[in-house]
């Protein structure tokens, strides 16, 4: 079994989704801020956004959907969680092995020496933060236009391709290459079940589209 989650699974924890109503921040769109160009142009603005998100996420709790996946992991020998989320709520719910396709908002990376470390302070005492070497630090996430961490997609494709059941939860399935895991699982012979409050480009291709909030539907499904 393999599971792909997106921002929608954290919506009921109070974390705004990317493309939903809460997805905007001040008058910026996520796509305009989550890019290397935006960071080079104005690291302080990008860090203001991440600082705001870190603070908001630090007050959020994993919801029943995150917890239902932990139950699934305990029960299923073959289980891989693949997440596009950077909020760390799967970790806090108790999920074990997971593939974080887009990185982790609670990690930082130095733009000079490449050091990579965890930092859970919310809010940050000073933005933009710096590395011990003095270099400018960036959030440990994958921005638009950046490649996913080495080997991550290969592992995710292996899990999706081998899965008998592939759950797609709370993702608009518009960001690539993550979204390509849905047709990939289908081609591998998986039964694909989508849990979403709305339609997605794959709704008419999945075996079962459950319409509603993950916090309600996933515990019942599990």
| Residues recognised as catalytic | 102
* Binding range to ligand BV8, per CB under 6 A, among 39-47, 78-86, 150-158, 203-211: 78-86
As a whole number of angstroms, the distance between CA 39 and CA 2 comes to: 34
Residue 201 binds which one of ligand BV8, Zn ion, none, with CB within 5 to 8 A depending on kind?
Answer: none
Q: Give the closest residue to 10 by CA, choosing from 56, 63, 47, 52.
A: 63
As a whole number of angstroms, the distance between CA 127 and CA 209 comes to: 43
Distances (CA, A) of 160 to 165, 176, 189: 9, 15, 10
Interaction between residue 213 and ligand BV8 (CB under 6 A): yes
With a CB cutoff of 8 Å and minimum separation 6, the contacts of 202 are 168, 173, 179, 182, 183, 192, 194
Binding mask 142-171 for ligand BV8 (x = CB under 6 A): xxxxxx----------------------xx
Residue 13 binds which one of ligand BV8, Zn ion, none, with CB within 5 to 8 A depending on kind?
Answer: none
Residue 110 binds which one of Zn ion, ligand BV8, none, with CB within 5 to 8 A depending on kind?
Answer: Zn ion
Using the minimum distance from each CB to ligand BV8, give the nearer residue, 39 or 79. 39
- Contact yes or no for 110/133 (Cβ under 8 A): yes
Residues of the shown chain interacting with ligand BV8 in the complex, contacts defined by CB under 6 A:
6-8, 11-12, 17-20, 23, 31, 34, 84-86, 102, 141-147, 170-172, 174-176, 195-198, 200, 213-214
């Amino acid at each position: 079994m393999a599971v792909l989650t997106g921002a929608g699974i954290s919506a009921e924890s109070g974390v705004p989704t990317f493309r939903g109503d809460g997805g905007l921040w001040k008058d910026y769109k996520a796509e305009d801020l989550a890019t290397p160009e935006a960071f080079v142009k104005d690291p302080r603005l990008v860090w203001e956004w991440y600082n705001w998100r870190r603070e908001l996420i630090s007050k959020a709790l994993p919801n029943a959907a995150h917890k239902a996946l932990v139950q699934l992991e305990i029960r299923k020998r073959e289980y891989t969680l693949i997440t596009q989320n950077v909020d760390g709520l799967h970790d806090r719910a108790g999920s074990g092995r997971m593939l974080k396709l887009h990185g982790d908002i609670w990690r930082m990376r130095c733009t000079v020496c490449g050091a990579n470390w965890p930092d859970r302070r919310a809010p940050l005492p000073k933005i933009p933060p710096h590395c011990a070497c003095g270099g400018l630090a960036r959030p440990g996430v994958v921005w638009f236009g950046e490649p996913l961490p080495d080997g991550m997609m290969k592992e995710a494709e292996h899990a999706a391709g081998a899965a008998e059941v592939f759950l797609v939860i709370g993702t608009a399935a518009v960001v690539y290459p993550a979204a390509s895991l849905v047709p990939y699982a289908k081609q591998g012979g998986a039964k694909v079940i989508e849990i979403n409050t709305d339609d997605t480009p794959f709704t008419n291709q999945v075996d079962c589209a459950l319409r509603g909030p993950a916090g309600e539907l996933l515990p019942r499904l599990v």
